[in-house]
Each structure stands twice: as structure tokens, then as C-alpha cells.
Chain A
């Protein structure tokens, strides 16, 4: 880790600290204040966008652990999010269980389904695994659509989240709920990557045969990666369900799965900060497109083709994914690291 000039680590605790210097602490405190005060200066709409970013971030962090750290390609992430969302919805709506139980069960259920569809990962990888997870996506969505228990094509209503009698009705209260869980998830992922498990994941990613020879239990760690990744997807799904209030399987399409992969690639695979950059980038781009750019163009350019509004988003997202892979495969996280070192070394950059 690069540190400012003159700062040295004398203890193990110092070496491991996430926030090392006083400047770190000050910046972090400033960021926290800015984040927690968001309901004060953001309107209801943009607060909703923040909530969506938080929920997406949990799922993307899970996917980053699975793809970025453990190297197991999954193109069915939206399917696993759907499992979590519907588990939580069914438990709280049909069985009237408390929200926290639904949240936990959503995570566990998604993790379990993830393990089942992750089983082939023990024998195959790369393209084979990609296809398996695509198949998982289609099977999950089909089951949700046809099982009367989940509401089918009609969808299912989800009550507001509530803890100990307090109902999270307003956008602001949900903001605090979602952000605290998001922070927990990010913190967990950041620390997991530095423990024995995270190192084992990285070894499996870099070369699973060598990892096995070194004594890493491939079956255990690959399935663990699937479990953790899908557990976080399930948690995100549950929060999404209680946030939107109404579920329909169309919200969890294959294109959504591809978008999640795009997010972590744009952010930077295998970095703790990557998913944050990627999620914020994609979700804000989505907002800019649908809220600002498209209405603006539609009001100024009259001869716009009718498919413009729906077609421009996937076109741009596809283009962004391809361009990032070609021009900056290490993602925004790499740019961020470059910026940080340039900032530290300035003005003596040589």
C-alpha cells in the first residue's frame, strides 16, 4: 500500500488499518457526515436513486467476491437477487413473519440456490460456468413466473420493512436502513478479501489447479464463494422487495444480470472500491439518460425515432462495457489508484 511520504508502519495493527492517517480519518468523517445528511439536501427522487445505488451495491459486492476474487463467472446474478426478493416477499406477505427473519432467510435461500447451481463449478469453469449460470437465471425466473405461491406473472405485494414496531415508510428512513446494511456488506467484503478465505479465493482465481496442489480445498472454497456472493444478492433482493413494495419477475431479466457484470468490470474487478465506482457510474448514467438526456432530446429534436427512449440505454451500456474492456480493463479503481499516487507525489512526480 502506498502511504504518504514519512509515514511508516511500526505495528501490525497499523499495517492492517484501513484508515491509516489523520487525513484518512478526516476524509472518512467528512464523507460519513455528507452521506448521513443526504436526506436533508436531497429531494425524494434523488434519495430514491441513492437507495437503489445502495441496494445494487450490496449485490455487486457479492458478485465481485464471486467473479473478481474467486474467478467464478456468474451471468445469473439477477436470478439470485430474484430468489432473495421473492423469499422475503413470500415470508413477510403470506406468512406475516417479521422483516428481519425475511431478510435473513432471503440471504440463506439465495445462497443455497447459489450453491446448487454452483456445483458444476467444481468440474468446469469459464464458458461452461457462464452457460450454467445463464441456465440458472432462466430456470429461476420460469419457476417464479409459474409457481402460484410467488404470485406468478401478476406479481406480489410486499409490506414495508419494519423492525421492532418501527415501519420504514419514508424514503429517508429506508435510506438509513439500506445504507447501514450496504456499509456492513462493503466492510465485510473488504475484510474477507484480506483473510485466509479471501487469499484462497484469489489463489483459486489465478490458477485453480495450482491452488489445489497447494492444499486449498477447491470444492469448499468455490462453493463458499457462490454462497457468499449469492447470500449478498439475496440480501439485496430482500431490501429491493421492501423498497419497491411490488415484485414482478420482469425486474430480474438477463439484461439486468449482464448489467451487474458490466458494473463490476467498469468499477474494477477484484478491488474493494471497484463495485462502488461501477455501481455509482452505471446507476447515475441510467438516471442521466432517462431523466435528463432523453426528455431533453425529445423536446428539442422532433424527428426522433420512436424507439429512441428505450433503445438508447442498452446501446450506451453495451458500448460502455465494450469500451471499458478494451481501453481500461482494470476499471475505474485503477484510475483512482493512479490519481491517488499522482496526488501524493505531486509536485515531484519523478
Chain B
């Protein structure tokens, strides 16, 4: 699938749980790839790690989503849970600041998954590659550990 002469890069899982195809997310904005291609995690732990060496481009003020940019220009939107903007920050903690450089595996923040579920929110957490058009991806669907398990190989087209 990948050209040997192009450099393949790795993305590790930002959360522990299980990865699923983006098409299976219970929200058409994500499943129909309106925001771009990607992969989703069904988390079983609330820790969120950086999936690659990155600059933190944006943390939404409710701390339920992060935008990260890799050195090669790949931009990822990590969205914790579905419709969780409505929680207005309740249950979310963040340990990093915008424009901060982070290393793959570094803890970015936490989410209280019990609270999410108690309030009736779906915990599926999509990672969307918003400028994914210029990259090729190989997604891995499996049980994953935050900051450890490889979930995506990618390279420039």
C-alpha cells in the first residue's frame, strides 16, 4: 500500500479502549467524513495522550476537543465524545496550553467517562485528519492502550 520511497509515519492511540472505523461513529458529521477522514476510539479510560509529536493548535474552551499539528503539516482534530460541547467543560481537564509543543504519548488531559455516560453522552471519540486529502492512511482496528498502541500509518500522497 505504501511507496517504499516515501517516509511512513506512525500515530499512536491517544486513549485506551478500542478503535473503530470512522464510518461507525453515531454521528453523521463524523461518519460521513464531513470534517475529513479519520478513526474513532471507544475509550475505557479517561486519559488523553498526544498521538504524535505535535504543536497544540487549539484547545476548545470546553476542553472536549483538541487540534494538533505535526511537523509534516498533518492536522488532527481529537473530539472526545459526541455532542460533548454541551457539557460546557464539565468532566474535562486539560494539562497543556495552546501553541505548546508536545511529544507523542504525553498526557494532554482527562475526561470523566462515568460522568459522560451518566449524562447520556456517547463516549466515541473521533480523531479527524482535517487536511487528510494530501496524505494516505492505513488505519488499525484493535484494542488499544493510550500512548502505546499504533493505530495509524500514514505518508504523503
Q: Decide if A and B are genuine partners.
A: no
**Chain A interface residues (CB < 8 Å from chain B):** none
**Chain B interface residues (CB < 8 Å from chain A):** none
